[in-house]
Amino acid sequence: MAKATPSGLENPLGPGLFRFLKDLKANNDREWFQENKARYGAEARDPVLRLIAAFGEPLASVSRHFEADPRPVGGSLFRIHRDTRFSKDKTPYKTHLGINFRHRSEAAGGVHGPGFYLHLDPGGCFAGGGLWHPEPEALYKVRQAIAAKSTAWKKLRASGIDIEGESLKRVPQGFDPDHPCAEDLKFKDFYTATSFTDAQVLSPDFLEQVAGACQRAAPLVRFLCKALDLPW
């Protein structure tokens, strides 16, 4: 049964979510998945879609330019099927659920544009926001913004936001290697995250905790949106 918080938000996630993902990790093949497809829907996909629908209002309080889309296909929930075409790992299914709250603008770049993200993985859950694997033009614009608005960027960093992502070994060509933000100019991704225990994910106030993680990531996402001329 969904658990209501004092604010009225409900957490539709139950322990079946983690049981299913753990079982999938131990039996990652098409035959097992087909036999347990009803479990996937009942214990994982459908509760997460309800969570996405419920998160629309809290997300709008962070920024109205991002969407919580509960459609089962083409919405915020990533497909559970892995793309194995270019991977040595041929296991067919992801053993986590990823939810991307994308910017509404078509110019944002979809999943590779600024956004908020929720990751549900037994023992490795987190939520946050930023920019992941952006297109080269977008990455260049962000680096330009950091270099040109270093005071604002350093203020953002001083606020305690811990930025993660892949990084170059050297400052990219076209930027001053002695710039005061040189280390951050090396980033190829820009995101920040708040970790959750499995117990926190199943707690009645989990949607409020996710909203808090998005609020903490908001200064970074706001900077990225402005760098890419996107509304915030």
Per-residue pLDDT at 6 exceeds 80: no
Amino acid occupying residue 80: I
**pTM of model > 0.85:** yes
Instruction: List b or e across 89-100, with b for residues whose CB sees 16 or more CB atoms inside 10 angstroms.
Output: eeeebbbbbbbb
How confident is residue 86, by pLDDT bands cut at 50, 70 and 90?
Answer: confident
Specify the residue for token string 């049964």. 1
What kind of fold does domain 9-227 have according to CATH?
Answer: BirA Bifunctional Protein; domain 2 (3.30.930)
**pLDDT surpasses 70 at 3:** no
The pLDDT-based confidence of 87 (bands split at 50, 70, 90) is confident
Average pLDDT of span 151-160: 95
How do the domains of the chain map onto residue ranges?
9-227
| Alpha helices, DSSP H, located in the chain | 16-26, 30-35, 37-39, 46-54, 56-62, 136-148, 150-158, 182-185, 198-201, 206-227
The model's pLDDT over 40-73, given as tens digits with 9 standing for 90+, comes to: 999 999 999 999 999 999 999 999 999 999 999 9
